[in-house]
A and B are shown apart, each in its own frame.
Chain A
């Protein structure tokens, strides 16, 4: 059932994309407070908050791990922008943090807002005056055209082809079930439970494959965040400069939001790398520097990839490395040994040897960066890629309903119960590629099976 979309609680980053001091995520709908409450740790829970009040607290993930310090504002309906319950979360303006918080929300009963949707709801709840009505309709209809174009583009894509096939295969399976339910009198070969289970498991596998492509899809869409970490004189700046020179297509050069973090973007082999040159990791007495380090740590924690840079003169610094391991998983780290032009020294096998001066070894580093960024994805040129968080969520729901269906089969539930779960799976997949009609199943039955006494 993808109809009751106006009932859904929706969320989106409400401030312009990019790095700013503060960004805001807006959540609107009847679940707004309860979903925010699950990721917000403050002095009071959202249920105890007064309307229109601002609260300081932390955003944490399912494991209770810290994501960011935030200010949360709760508006209760009808006194909010949209007229519904609204929660606004102001976080430190990093796209990474924004994305993390959005992902935590979208795992719950929340979906990503469509363009203009907050305004649309505001209007429907009488929050905008009549004079604005026509304007709103124009917005909605122009958005429609844009989304239709988007939908068409996606229809050309591999993902929709893939999802269409999965949906077709489920429709065939469902037709078998419905055939048995509606044409009990007919002399037809009905589907065996084992066969049904096998079909369902095959589709689950395919969906898992698509879900696994999400990381890669994210890489394609959002790029890879790379933090360059190392001792002050290990040559981080020269590496950064060399990388940018090497990749002829420099996208932009964005000054860091703090004095200590420089962000640059480059593409290599079609992948966008966002490079962050971080400050040192060691604690400092200096207040300003301490703030710089705090931000560096934030950047490292949220990075997809960390280049740990040492140089042959000072050797591998295991103390800094140990600090680094507190912040980030080992398999995200690429160890790099710089300045090999100076002297040949014994280096560890797991280090990539480069010279940021002569460029020796840089191509190896780039290859390694690409490999690391994409290694977790089951990706080949021909497979479909999920890059959109809404699609990802639809697939996740599809998988959940299929698991329920498999469970019902194992518990020997009758076919009409299994049908219910297959139908929700088909609906979830249909949300990716377009609308679904219930007649599909009967049409399928009529065209495939010889029925009718």
Chain B
């Protein structure tokens, strides 16, 4: 008798553990298949979490009740808020992680989840009957059955690594690839393709001349990712710095010598690589006028003797990598622990999944992470939690979770994947979000905690606390609009800061619109009634509320414009298109529009509007058909 699970998760990476956690918290029995149970949430590439737009995703995963933020907080060895000189919408938290501790912490956390059974084995085939998934065949265990299967295999599907002209199969350095799954899915009618990504060499810490390099320390007052992290114990670990160096023309010359043995240039690598994260050889060729490129030396961990050379991703022959690096300032005597390599892997162009991440072809089968063509731990984790919630929701009879573009980067991510598909590894950027001013890292809980609570991933006390905070924010905004500060109280302060004085009185909200004035600064001058004074003090003591109120007041006009845009489009987003609609029958559609619509099968008019090649007239025709 084979074992039976509600959900089978294939792959224990960043997507897999979020999916397993979400499914289990929603009451489902979960099998987490991994080739190595000590390798959960292993960081294959750089030892860092967050960054622009990615930091937003981490906060969102946390608000939904996911694991990533907490693990990053407990294992971070440098925390920084990027873009601090810009407006609040693009502030992005980032941390350097202790690579080893991160994975260990993830193993700890997952092993404690009651309904998750970790199975150390290799999945070889996904089975489906009558358009519905039935289970997975494991190499050693044999068949296990599941109502749902979530595929989150990362770069392991037919993974192949390249250094120079030598290549070897594997999903990650020193780890075996996953063979058979792609083939079983192609048999079920799925389309697969190849992508490529690369990783830089790892260096020996003591072989680097640190004294002559520019230091980049973390923030003085670091902020955690997770709403649940106890700030009193944060940061948990000692903090380390990164260091900066540059390539130079001598380095480029040596690297060029290796081009004839580059798998990238000789055509050995067929997969498409990410343009935003090019290899060093790509940079030299495409930007030949640049005499140098910036490199970051990132610590791999507290006890690690390895350094990650960020910016030097390469698949050139190891000897060339080594020789070139020795011309870099600070690396004159460097020793290489492991050369950089490129990895090629299978993915399934993501127009084959729906906004729930369930595949359109096979019910109960979900794709999450790099198998959908994304790159990055954060992108993977965000998909993992959504796939996990949806798989469990279907089994437990709860409504599906589709996060909208105006609610979260997670929504933008999945909508982009499904609607536009992708032929290069997809990374999140803030410029992908049209409602960027609203989707801030500071309000992820206000945007998403309700979903985390609804699906049982967030406990009631945290949800109640948010609701209390919402009430206070509303009250505070009204207070700032209605409470005035008089000239005689504040003018002295204004002139001491060489700011224009006010005439008679001015509302707090109006003063707050001045870019130079902070809300807490203005609130000091509230003195009209005892009650007002007390309320101002309450606000001053509540940093979280103060921040939200200040942003709301300062950028009111812009935020309103975005809200208006959202409500204008809402009608289209909520006009559903049945998945059974046969576009080929609708002769009035333009040829290109018909093909696109038929391929993607958008679920709403709003989604159809985002398809390239679909014209306004096509939309009008669709609306006419929907009326019939």
Residues of A at under 8 Å CB distance from B?
A: 1, 3-7, 120, 123-124, 126, 130, 133, 136-138, 140-141, 143-144, 147, 178, 180-187, 411-417, 419-420, 423, 435, 437-439, 441-442, 446-447, 450-453
User: How far is the CB of A433 from the nearest CB of chain B, in Å?
Assistant: 14
A residues within 8 A CB of B420? 439
Among B290, B430, B431, max chain A CB count under 10 A is at: B431
B residues within 8 A CB of A130? 628
- A133 touching B86, Cβ below 8 Å: no
A residues within 8 A CB of B555? 417
The one of A4, A133, A419 in contact with B568, judged by C-beta atoms closer than 8 angstroms, is A4
Among B61-69, B107-115, B183-191, B612-620, which stretch is in contact with chain A? B612-620
Known contacts A438-B432, A450-B287; 4 further A-B pairs (Cβ under 8 A) = A124-B620, A133-B624, A140-B588, A144-B590
- B627 touching A124, Cβ below 8 Å: yes
Q: How far is the CA of A178 from the CA of B571 in the complex (A)?
A: 29
B residues within 8 A CB of A138? 588
For residues 603 through 622 of chain B, which have their beta carbon under 8 Å from a beta carbon of chain A? Answer: 609, 612, 615-617, 619-621
Chain B residue with the shortest CB-CB distance to A174:
B431
- B515 touching A411, Cβ below 8 Å: yes
- B87 touching A417, Cβ below 8 Å: yes
- Is B525 part of the binding interface, using a Cβ–Cβ cutoff of 8 Å? no
- B627 touching A442, Cβ below 8 Å: no
For residues 549 through 572 of chain B, which have their beta carbon under 8 Å from a beta carbon of chain A? Answer: 555, 558, 561-562, 565, 568-569, 571-572
- B275 touching A446, Cβ below 8 Å: yes
- A7 touching B571, Cβ below 8 Å: yes
- B571 touching A450, Cβ below 8 Å: no
Among A1, A133, A417, A419, max chain B CB count under 10 A is at: A417
Known A181-B52, A417-B555, A417-B558; judge A6-B623 contact (CB<8 A). yes
Q: How far is the CA of A123 from the CA of B628 in the complex (A)?
A: 10
Known A184-B52, A442-B432; judge A452-B311 contact (CB<8 A). yes
- A184 touching B83, Cβ below 8 Å: yes
B residues within 8 A CB of A123? 624, 627
Q: How far is the CA of A180 from the CA of B616 in the complex (A)?
A: 33
The one of B46, B90, B287 in contact with A416, judged by C-beta atoms closer than 8 angstroms, is B90
What is the total number of residues of chain B having a CB less than 8 Å from a CB of chain A? 60
Among A130, A178, A184, A438, max chain B CB count under 10 A is at: A184
User: How far is the CB of A445 from the nearest CB of chain B, in Å?
Assistant: 8
A residues within 8 A CB of B623? 6, 124
User: How far is the CB of A41 from the nearest CB of chain B, in Å?
Assistant: 30
The one of B296, B558, B572, B587 in contact with A3, judged by C-beta atoms closer than 8 angstroms, is B572
- A453 touching B310, Cβ below 8 Å: yes
- Is B89 part of the binding interface, using a Cβ–Cβ cutoff of 8 Å? yes
A residues within 8 A CB of B53? 182
Q: How far is the CA of A120 from the CA of B515 in the complex (A)?
A: 48
User: How far is the CB of B217 from the nearest CB of chain A, in Å?
Assistant: 14
Chain B residue with the shortest CB-CB distance to A124:
B623
- A1 touching B293, Cβ below 8 Å: no
- Is B277 part of the binding interface, using a Cβ–Cβ cutoff of 8 Å? yes
- B431 touching A442, Cβ below 8 Å: yes
- B86 touching A181, Cβ below 8 Å: yes
Q: How far is the CA of A435 from the CA of B627 in the complex (A)?
A: 26
User: How far is the CB of A109 from the nearest CB of chain B, in Å?
Assistant: 11
Contact with A along B267-284 (1 / 0, CB 8 A): 000000011111000010
The one of B293, B430, B562, B620 in contact with A140, judged by C-beta atoms closer than 8 angstroms, is B620
For residues 102 through 149 of chain B, which have their beta carbon under 8 Å from a beta carbon of chain A? Answer: none
Among B278, B515, B617, max chain A CB count under 10 A is at: B617
A residues within 8 A CB of B90? 181, 184, 414-416
- Is B544 part of the binding interface, using a Cβ–Cβ cutoff of 8 Å? no
- A144 touching B52, Cβ below 8 Å: no
- B515 touching A453, Cβ below 8 Å: no
Known A144-B590, A411-B515, A450-B286; judge A441-B620 contact (CB<8 A). no
- Is B462 part of the binding interface, using a Cβ–Cβ cutoff of 8 Å? no
- Is B434 part of the binding interface, using a Cβ–Cβ cutoff of 8 Å? yes
- Is B331 part of the binding interface, using a Cβ–Cβ cutoff of 8 Å? no
Contact with A along B289-300 (1 / 0, CB 8 A): 010011110000
Q: How far is the CA of A133 from the CA of B587 in the complex (A)?
A: 13
Q: How far is the CA of A144 from the CA of B627 in the complex (A)?
A: 20
Contact with A along B569-600 (1 / 0, CB 8 A): 10110000000000000011010000000000
